[in-house]
Copies of this chain bind each other. A is one copy, B any other.
């Protein structure tokens, strides 16, 4: 419609209804977005197959539900709610019985578009059972964005043979998300075994000197494997999101 306004203005210039100086003035003060430069943003999700995402943490359950309903009315892409608190998950499940709830991570998903967009497989690997909630968030995000996810749990570096045992599965993947707390060493180990990009997700799991994930975060940033990049602590969504973009590339 903004382009329509611009077209209208140009038609008026053409027809003489608006003179050039007036058009010039209006163009100069016409807001940026109205010129259509940013319009792609509104349609980006649909074009890209990115889901609609609601960050549930700290939002009132009714608030989460209301946003979800509004997004479901207009869009055609999948809906992903992350870190929904139990009350919000209940409301969502009652309102959308077809939705899937993932209690470990608090994710809630509604499918509307099951197109597979990932060109290859996407692995989500985690170090310990305590890291599973964050890994689940990454996995649900990646699936919702149309990826075939290989899930490998509990292969921390203090039991390297478990990782080696999964080497073939790992090497099938076109991109890996590696989730680890404590010393955060798993991404380096995985990074050395695969040739694809590794997205490292530090978790806040740990005792004492883990300082809520700082130890894992620093460890990952200092990885001696060149194919490792890092997202924020406990940011399973971010890990799954970037990996999905890479898998489409």
Contact = CB atoms under 8 A, between A and B. Distances in A.
Interface string A19-47: 11101100111011111111001001000
Given A7-B20, A157-B157, A189 B195 contact: no
Nearest to A237: B226
B185 A208 contact: no
Interface in A158-186: 158-165, 167-168, 174-175, 182-185
Contacts of A21: 7
Contact of A196 (B11, B214, B245): B245
A192 B160 contact: yes
Interface stretch (A84-92, A95-103, A106-114, A197-205): A197-205
A206 interface: yes
A76 interface: no
A56 interface: no
Given A214-B218, A218-B209, A224-B127, A197 B234 contact: no
A246 interface: yes
A20 B28 contact: no
Do most interface residues of chain A lie in helix, strand or loop, or is the interface mixed? Answer: helix
Interface residues of A, number: 102
B161 A37 contact: yes
B183 A208 contact: no
Given A24-B6, A218-B210, A235-B207, A32 B164 contact: yes
A158 B174 CA distance: 18
Given A158-B192, A232-B221, A14 B16 contact: yes
Given A7-B20, A44-B195, A127-B224, 8 more contacts: A3-B28, A27-B27, A31-B164, A33-B165, A158-B224, A158-B225, A185-B188, A209-B222
